[in-house]
Amino acid sequence: MKQHFQNLVDEEEITIDLTPMLDVVFIMLIFFIVTASFVKEAGIDVNRPEAATAVKKDRANILIAISDKNEIWINKRRIDERAVQANIERLYAENPQGSVVIQADRKATTDTLIKVMDASRAAGVFDVSIATQE
């Protein structure tokens, strides 16, 4: 009888508690979700020009799109050209390591492109790039 009782106690001690492992998995999941950098979009699709010497740019946090009708879009909102500098200043204050990438349509005028570039430099962001077709 004593041996039978001892066998029952041994069987109960063999079980594995998975709760700490699940806690670690959930903590890792939360960590990766919080630290992931999400892709930001300017708000519209533009027909970008092609470039033979294009280089892929990482850490593009401020995306500005210029449509074929010279409309300026930031964060899925149409922005007046006079408010571009203020919007860039706000976005740059949120992430000072970021850079500005301008997605200009092929049919957009260079006048609008230059105004956006000047606004970004006036906002204190000197790392400005123009997106091209891959």
DSSP the chain: -HHHHHHHHHHHHT----HHHHHHHHHHHHHHHHHPPPPP--SS---PPB-TT------EEEEEEE-TT--EEETTEEE-GGGHHHHHHHHHHH-TT-EEEEEE-TTS-HHHHHHHHHHHHHTT---EEE--B-
pLDDT at 27: 92
Quick one: fold of 60-130?
A: Nucleotidyltransferase; domain 5 (3.30.420)
pLDDT at 50: 60
> How do the pLDDT tens digits run along the chain, 134 residues long?
556 556 555 555 667 788 888 899 999 998 888 777 655 556 666 655 565 555 565 556 788 889 888 899 888 889 898 999 999 898 888 888 878 888 888 888 888 988 999 999 999 888 888 877 76
Q: What is the pTM of this model?
A: 0.59
pLDDT at 86: 92
pLDDT at 48: 59
